Copies of this chain bind each other. A is one copy, B any other.
Amino acid sequence: MHCRNGGLMTKPLRHETILKLVRQAPIPNQHALQMELKKSGLAATQATLSRDLAELGLVKTAEGYKLPAQVAEPSQFPNGDLKRVMREFLREASPANNLIVVKTPPGNANALGIALDKASLPEVVGTIAGDDTILVVTRSAATARSLRKKFLNWVG
C-alpha cells in the first residue's frame, strides 16, 4: 500500500498542527480538517484523522471538534433569579429563525441580558442587549421557539 510516509515522523507534527488549528477555531468535521492540513503540506486520510482526533482527546460539539477546555460551561445553577428578572422586565418575545427578539421597557434590556447570560441556559448560544431589545441567539429555530415558550410560561 502506499504509505507515502517514508520514515519521517509525521504523526507528532500532524498532532501539533491539529491542536494549533483547533485552538484557532472549532473544526466542523474530519474532511475540513483534512483540507486544512493539506494547506500546511500535511497529507492524511480520513481514517488517520479519526484516529488522531481520538488520541488527542478532542470532543465533538454542535460547532465542531474542540479541545475539552473550549467546551463551554453550561448553566451553573438553576434560574430562579432569571425568572424573577424576567417577570419584571420581559414585555415581548418573538422568535425569528434561530433568534428570539426580546423586548423590555426602555433602558432595561441590559439588566435582563445580564441575567440571561448568568443563567447560561443550555439553549442560549449568546445574547446582545441594546436599550430595550435583546437578541437571544440559540442553536436552531426550533430551540428559539421552544425557549421563547419557556420564557412566556415563566412570566405567566
Contact = CB atoms under 8 A, between A and B. Distances in A.
Copy number of this protein in the oligomer?
2
Given A56-B122, A57-B122, 7 more contacts: A55-B140, A57-B62, A57-B123, A59-B59, A61-B68, A68-B72, A69-B74
Contacts of A140: 54-55
A54 B139 CA distance: 8
A86 B5 CA distance: 32
Contacts of A62: 54, 57
A115 to B, nearest CB: 20
A72 B71 CA distance: 9
Contacts of A60: 59-61
A142 B15 CA distance: 14
A114 interface: no
Contact of A68 (B55, B57, B73, B123): B73
Contacts of A127: none
A21 interface: no
A79 interface: no
Contacts of A30: none
A143 interface: yes
Interface string A110-153: 00000000000011000000000000000110110010000000
A37 interface: no
Nearest to A59: B61
A43 to B, nearest CB: 20
